[in-house]
Amino acid sequence: MLADRTTLARFLNDERRRHPDAVGDLNSLILDVAIACKAIAGRVAHGALEGVLGAQGTVNVQGETQQKLDVMSNDIFIRATEWGGQVAGMASEELDDPYEIPAEFPRGKYLLVFDPLDGSSNIDVNVSVGSIFSVLRAPEGAAAAPTADDFLQPGTTQVAAGYAIYGPSTILVLTVGRGTHAFTLDPQLGEFILTREDIRIPESTSEFAINASNRRFWEPAVRRYVDECLAGRSGPRGKDFNMRWVASLVAETHRILTRGGVFLYPRDTKDPAKPGRLRLLYEANPVAFIVEQAGGAANTGHERILDVVPTGLHQRIALVFGAVEEVERVAKYHVENVDTGVDTPFYSTRGLFRATAN
């Protein structure tokens, strides 16, 4: 019965009571985002039945081909959140510049950034996709007309972050800075119900995710880490690892929050002009916030993600997140930067077959 369950609205209301001065604007914004996620879930579920699969015939600011559902999801996010008076402006993966709230709507004290449909390149093969969002405070004086610079805040300033995953069930994962929690959409009630409270990521794991086809472009530290994992029980790690790769950040994040693991999308030399593949503001930052609130860690391989000060609205960055022990090990290997010109760590200065002095 509904009386025995905690809805998203009730959860947010309980959180607001911890802050007597709060007026409920953040709650209202998150609930509007949840409405957008419900609407997108419906469109994703109908897929080819509504003719929403396939390319739109346009490209976004990153030069990526937009899918029909990318554009549709972006519009749903905007329409669900622009009118309520909680946001001063928005930024999206699908828009070159910040979205300006129409003059007929009141402006609020928050900035909303989002990837409306992460993993959309997989939608035609029915792989789980999702939406990612982050809420920031609008700088003082910026509420009237925020500029792109007003969005360039480090991840530590996030007020809330979350994602929705559209799979066998629709799940909204959320943090407002007090743990990470999951809400499952009850299709009969049309409500998100709290189903996992205070999610914790195990500190150690035997599962990692990386796109191994890019191996030839990796930095030496990443090659060393992956090679040691693949060496298994007979290698320096002394245990077997499983490798995963879904090519959907939301799906990868959800797997790690569900059963642990580590995800790597490292910086590489495939395109030297790009310091990474994922976007800092609306992918890496919200995921890092969610993961840290679940007891995990997230960094670039060199520094904590949430400490990075953005320099551009669509800035790309490397991302390693998940089990603390593994994330710290990757960072440690970057510091040591063992590069002997040999692909396998077994022949490095710290390897099993390290060279000895004559």
Return the domain boundaries, the chain. 2-196, 207-347
Phi-psi region of 295 (alpha: psi -120 to 50; beta: other; left: phi over 0): left
Mean pLDDT within 87-102? 96
The pLDDT confidence band at residue 125, using thresholds 50, 70 and 90, is confident
Contact criterion met (CB below 8 Å) for 298 and 320: yes
Upper half-sphere CA count for residue 318 (Cβ side, 13 Å): 25
Assign domain 207-347 to its CATH architecture.
3-Layer(aba) Sandwich (3.40)
Backbone angles phi, psi at 139, to 5 degrees: -55, 150
The pLDDT confidence band at residue 20, using thresholds 50, 70 and 90, is confident
Q: What is the pLDDT of residue 48?
A: 66
Mean pLDDT within 70-75? 94
d(CA 262, CA 298): 10
Query: Is 118 annotated for ligand binding?
Result: yes
Q: Which residues pair with 113 in a beta bridge?
A: 91, 134
Contact criterion met (CB below 8 Å) for 286 and 172: no
pLDDT over 90 for what percent of the chain? 75
Instruction: Residue 112: name the closest of 143, 142, 151 by CA.
Output: 151
Whether the predicted pLDDT of 319 surpasses 70: yes
Residues 234-247: tens digit of each pLDDT: 999 999 999 999 98
Query: Is 117 annotated for ligand binding?
Result: yes
Whether the predicted pLDDT of 157 surpasses 80: yes
Whether the predicted pLDDT of 62 surpasses 70: no
pLDDT over 70 for what percent of the chain? 88
The pLDDT confidence band at residue 127, using thresholds 50, 70 and 90, is confident
Mean pLDDT within 106-118? 96
Q: What is the pLDDT of residue 25?
A: 95
Query: Is 252 annotated for ligand binding?
Result: no
Mean pLDDT within 284-304? 97
Homologous superfamily of domain range 2-196: Fructose-1,6-Bisphosphatase, subunit A, domain 1 (3.30.540.10)
Query: Is 115 annotated for ligand binding?
Result: yes
Quick one: CA dihedral 327, 332, 334, 337, positive or negative?
A: negative
What is the 8-class DSSP label of residue 238?
Answer: -
What is the 8-class DSSP label of residue 218?
Answer: B
Give me 5's structure tokens: 């369950």
The pLDDT confidence band at residue 271, using thresholds 50, 70 and 90, is confident
Q: What is the pLDDT of residue 115?
A: 97
Mean pLDDT within 191-209? 96
Q: Which residues does 257 contact at the CB level (< 8 Å), separation at least 6? A: 173, 180, 182, 199, 201, 290, 291, 294
**Which residue carries 């879904």 as its tokens?**
246
Whether the predicted pLDDT of 143 surpasses 90: no
Query: Is 283 annotated for ligand binding?
Result: yes
